Chains A and B, each alone.
Chain A
Amino acid sequence: MQGLIFSIEEFSVYDGPGIRTTVFLKGCPLRCSWCHNPEGQSYNKEIVRSPNGCINCNNCINVADIVDGKTVFTDDGIKNCPMGLLRYSGENISSEQLCEKLLKNQNMLQSGGVTFSGGEPLAQSDFLLDCLTKLKGKIHTAIQTSGYCDTQTFKKVVGMADYFLFDLKLADDRLHRKYTGVSNAVILNNFSFLASSGREFVVRIPLIPTVTDSDENICGIVNLLKQSGVNYVELLPYNQMAGAKYKMLCREYRPDFDERVAVKVPERILRKNNVAFKIL
């Protein structure tokens, strides 16, 4: 079975226990305002331009298409770039090829394993399940997910993968819709299923200034954690480099919040509720 990936990163240190390789699957149903990986959003191949080394000759822009008022690079652009800065983002790969590639480093991944991230890996669930089946018993597998996916599929994946890195962004549904474009109902459902499944997992909270780092939101998330008996979280503070990759796609990064505001680390609330945490 074929899937679409946009990167394989060896020795990715923040994607689960031990030494790991992370595969990034392309396509995501969410549109988080703070997304730092815009390459992961579209389900299609795209042409991207590396910003390092551009001599602004505009050879790529001159042959680009304009779609809905947006610049879209073309094959001619790849050819025309004298610095070789344009490339395809997105590679069709079969589960056999991908797993073979990952298992080549099996000897070095004993302490860790393989993580599927994205985009949203559950959005290519058939491909994901196919890979997990092929890797079962050979290597530890982890899924880094927003949790947004129909519950039937989610249950199947929980049955197959060894470990989950589960994002909890916003406890309030209205805000969740506003900042990510989707409701959190199915996410919270999947979360309680995961928590009761006995599968190993860790919860991650992206700390976005004025959005997810508010006291109300953290209290809301802490309540969810308590309901599920979770007493440890990993915090991912917002980094002002988040917008760096948009230029590669000729897109503008326009977050719905003021990114200059310092992130509030909710130490007090977490401590008060006996939730241990680590800042990544």
Chain B
Amino acid sequence: MTKNIEALVKQLKDQSYKKYRTKTTSEPILYPVDVFGFHIGNNEKKHSLGGNVIPSYKRIISKGFDEIRREIEFSISKATEQSKIEYGKKMLEKMVECIRICDEYREKVKSNSRLYNALQRVPHKSATTFFEACLFMKICIYFLRTANTEHICLGRFDQYMYPYFINDKNRGVSDEELFETLEAFFVSLNYDGDLYPGIQLGDNGQSMVLGGFDECGNSMYNQLTDMCMDASLELNLIDPKINLRVGKNTPKEVYIKATKLTKQGLGFPQYCNDDVVVPGLIKLGYDAKDAVDYGVAACWEYIPSGCGADIPNMSVMNFPLVVNKVITEKLCNCDSFATFMGCVEKAIAKECDRIVESCCDFQHPEQPLLSMFTDGCIETLTDMWRGAKYKNYGCHGTGIANATDALTAVKQCIFDKKTVSVSQLLEALENNFEGFSDLRSSLRNCSKMGNNDEIADDIATQIMACFSKNMNNKPNGNGGIWRAGTGSAMEYILSAAKCPATADGRKAFEPYSSSFSPSLDVKASGLLSIIQSFTKYDMTEIINGGPLTLEIHDSVLKNDIGIEKTAMLVKLFIDMGGHQLQLNSINRERLLDAQKHPEKHPNLIVRVWGWSGYFNELDKEYQNHIIRRCEYLN
């Protein structure tokens, strides 16, 4: 780390990061703070107009705003429909304003010659150097953020920035200088954390996707990829959040480097398996070239880069609630478990139909600025939500493990062992297990998802297959289709808060497990069994996103032996067909202490669902969930 960067990080950390990030100004626009010149400086939390997309930074940075402006003008001149001309004018107006603000800003930073010179070129024209490209990125991010978007993701940074990087190298710029620029850019992403319209602090969508393979299977892991990993490792800051694309041909060294990053305790990298994701997206109708260029939205939703207006968080399948309804309404009439599962499958199918129906009229408000960053929208003068190449909707499948455990308990207690009668179960559920503690412990002692147990895992496969079959590729009424997934986002708390007691022994309104993970409180046999259970289903069929989350005690990562073995474990997960993995280094005692004495742990960072945040800044229910989900480590 150079002295420059060290000073920046120190400034960020010293000034009580929170205070620093809330620093506001009456000046509405760009003003100098760091080497990239500015931060957002606007304390108003605005209503979001949507986001969760990866803008086409590649196109914008390689063209420059002047060229984009000419393209809009050209499209307007060719257009015949009045509505398109009107929309084109809105785009043009935004672009002209962006250019004006940048010019105004450039004049304010005359004293900083490096910045001033770079601003003579970008954003008017294409970037030529890595520094200019990073500055251009900051400018894009700034404008997109102030345009009321949320979760604007960084996408495949190591790919679209590589031409500038390699160009600098060819001109003789040293690796050290390039690394310093990169680190300064990373630091700059950590300002203004509280100004994002996320659910919790830290949920800002600044996900970066690194590595991966091209259509021919060649590795795209390049020197810039490696530098990004090193920068993240050295800076130890929560942004950008690293997602690493891997596959069966990823070498062990890459996993080892990534595991060192896990050791930092920031809750990333998150791993995405190209061998599963790419074929999965192709099955959903994505062109192969777009499928191999996938990235993630804010957390883990798989979306294409630059050409999509997918809404991967459109809706939620609340699995435990569906299962509960079937238990209450149908179980007493079922003479076998197979009949009962038949009813469950019908209910899942019906819920899929209801979800599709309920979203068919959805419309995002217009986004002229973000649309300029979406491929194809300038040519057609169409808003991205209607004009982008991909307009698919995603449906999270939340509480898969809880629903599976509930169904397994019904199978084992009601049908196989007959230790519990239907009426007893219904009464116990209705009373939230008050006065039914023995019955509750029988339910809790049944087979569970996450223990490599065939009975539970087959049931999980059955409900996921039913979900995939009834959700995937259904038209969404907006020119796109639906995609089933395994994520939960905040729904492991919100959906669970709508769900009464469930047959797995979970009490009313208690949270589900986050995304695709064993239920809380399940005494899992261990990490190997969990991985076995969560790689059994063909994950290409359920690829909207949603990771298996594993907590590893930080003592495992204390030396090279533990790091190497953890890297081997991740590789096993990928080789076995897991689609997405989030690995957290965690120490339960430390979390408990931080809850009691927050002042002693100001910099404790934890992974929440698809993003990392400061433990102290989370609401208590999220803190408790994180503490509970590492219980299988004891």
Shortest Cβ distance from A14 into B: residue:
B561
* B-side contacts of A268, CB under 8 Å: none
Shortest C-beta distance, B382 to chain A (Å), equals 50
State whether the Cβ of B322 lies closer than 8 Å to any Cβ in chain A.
Answer: no
Given contacts A10-B526, A10-B527, A11-B526, contact A19 B561 (CB under 8 A): no
A111 to B588, CA, bound (A): 29
Given contacts A19-B572, A108-B528, A278-B561, contact A13 B634 (CB under 8 A): no
A19 to B532, CA, bound (A): 14
- B232-274 interface with A by 8 A CB criterion: none
* B562–A21 touching, CB < 8 Å: no
Given contacts A50-B634, A52-B634, contact A13 B565 (CB under 8 A): yes
* A-side contacts of B576, CB under 8 Å: 107-108
A14 to B634, CA, bound (A): 16
State whether the Cβ of A8 lies closer than 8 Å to any Cβ in chain B.
Answer: yes
A18 to B561, CA, bound (A): 9
* B559–A11 touching, CB < 8 Å: no
- B564-617 interface with A by 8 A CB criterion: 565-566, 568-569, 572, 576, 588
* B529–A10 touching, CB < 8 Å: yes
* B526–A13 touching, CB < 8 Å: no
* B-side contacts of A279, CB under 8 Å: 559
* A-side contacts of B568, CB under 8 Å: 18-19, 111
Shortest C-beta distance, A87 to chain B (Å), equals 10
Shortest C-beta distance, A107 to chain B (Å), equals 8
Task: Determine which of A9, A11, A104, A107 lies in contact with B569 in the assembled complex, contact meaning CB atoms within 8 Å.
Answer: A11
Give per-residue flags for B442-485: 1 if the beta carbon is below 8 A from chain A beta carbons, else 0. 00000000001000000000000000000000000000000000
State whether the Cβ of A280 lies closer than 8 Å to any Cβ in chain B.
Answer: yes
Shortest C-beta distance, B491 to chain A (Å), equals 27
* B-side contacts of A13, CB under 8 Å: 556, 561-562, 565-566
A104 to B452, CA, bound (A): 8
* A280–B572 touching, CB < 8 Å: no
Q: Which of A9, A11, A18, A107 has the most CB of B within 10 A?
A: A11
* A-side contacts of B529, CB under 8 Å: 10, 104-105
* B562–A8 touching, CB < 8 Å: no
* B561–A10 touching, CB < 8 Å: no
Give per-residue flags for A99-140: 1 if the beta carbon is below 8 A from chain B beta carbons, else 0. 000001101110100000000000000000000000000000
Give per-residue flags for B506-535: 1 if the beta carbon is below 8 A from chain A beta carbons, else 0. 000000000000000000011111011000
* B-side contacts of A109, CB under 8 Å: 528
Shortest Cβ distance from B454 into A: residue:
A104
A37 to B561, CA, bound (A): 22
Task: Give chain B's interface residue range (CB within 8 Å of chain A).
Answer: 20 to 34
* A21–B561 touching, CB < 8 Å: no
* B526–A108 touching, CB < 8 Å: no
Q: Which of B529, B532, B559 has the most CB of A within 10 A?
A: B529
Give per-residue flags for A1-44: 1 if the beta carbon is below 8 A from chain B beta carbons, else 0. 00000001111011000110100000000000000000000000
A45 to B521, CA, bound (A): 24
A115 to B499, CA, bound (A): 43
Shortest C-beta distance, A112 to chain B (Å), equals 8
- A184-238 interface with B by 8 A CB criterion: none
* A-side contacts of B452, CB under 8 Å: 104-105
A105 to B572, CA, bound (A): 12
A156 to B556, CA, bound (A): 33
* A11–B561 touching, CB < 8 Å: no
Q: Which of B556, B565, B634 has the most CB of A within 10 A?
A: B565
Shortest Cβ distance from A279 into B: residue:
B559
* A19–B565 touching, CB < 8 Å: yes
Shortest Cβ distance from B572 into A: residue:
A108
Shortest Cβ distance from B589 into A: residue:
A52
Shortest C-beta distance, B489 to chain A (Å), equals 28
A120 to B532, CA, bound (A): 30
* B-side contacts of A9, CB under 8 Å: 526
Shortest C-beta distance, A51 to chain B (Å), equals 10
Task: Determine which of B526, B531, B562 lies in contact with A14 in the assembled complex, contact meaning CB atoms within 8 Å.
Answer: B562
* A-side contacts of B531, CB under 8 Å: 108
A104 to B572, CA, bound (A): 15
* B-side contacts of A21, CB under 8 Å: 526, 528
Give per-residue flags for A153-180: 1 if the beta carbon is below 8 A from chain B beta carbons, else 0. 0000000000000000000000000000
A10 to B532, CA, bound (A): 12
Shortest C-beta distance, A186 to chain B (Å), equals 30
A104 to B562, CA, bound (A): 23
List A residues at the B interface (Cβ < 8 Å): 8-11, 13-14, 18-19, 21, 50, 52, 104-105, 107-109, 111, 278-280
List B residues at the A interface (Cβ < 8 Å): 452, 525-529, 531-532, 556, 559, 561-562, 565-566, 568-569, 572, 576, 588, 634
Complex A-B: 28 CB contacts under 8 Å: A8-B525, A9-B526, A10-B525, A10-B529, A11-B526, A11-B527, A11-B528, A11-B556, A11-B569, A13-B556, A13-B562, A13-B565, A18-B565, A18-B568, A19-B565, A19-B568, A19-B569, A19-B572, A21-B526, A21-B528, A50-B634, A52-B588, A52-B634, A105-B532, A108-B532, A278-B561, A280-B559, A280-B561
Seed contacts A8-B526, A104-B529, A108-B531; 14 additional CB < 8 Å A-B pairs? A10-B527, A10-B528, A11-B527, A13-B556, A13-B565, A13-B566, A18-B565, A50-B634, A105-B529, A107-B576, A108-B528, A108-B572, A108-B576, A278-B559
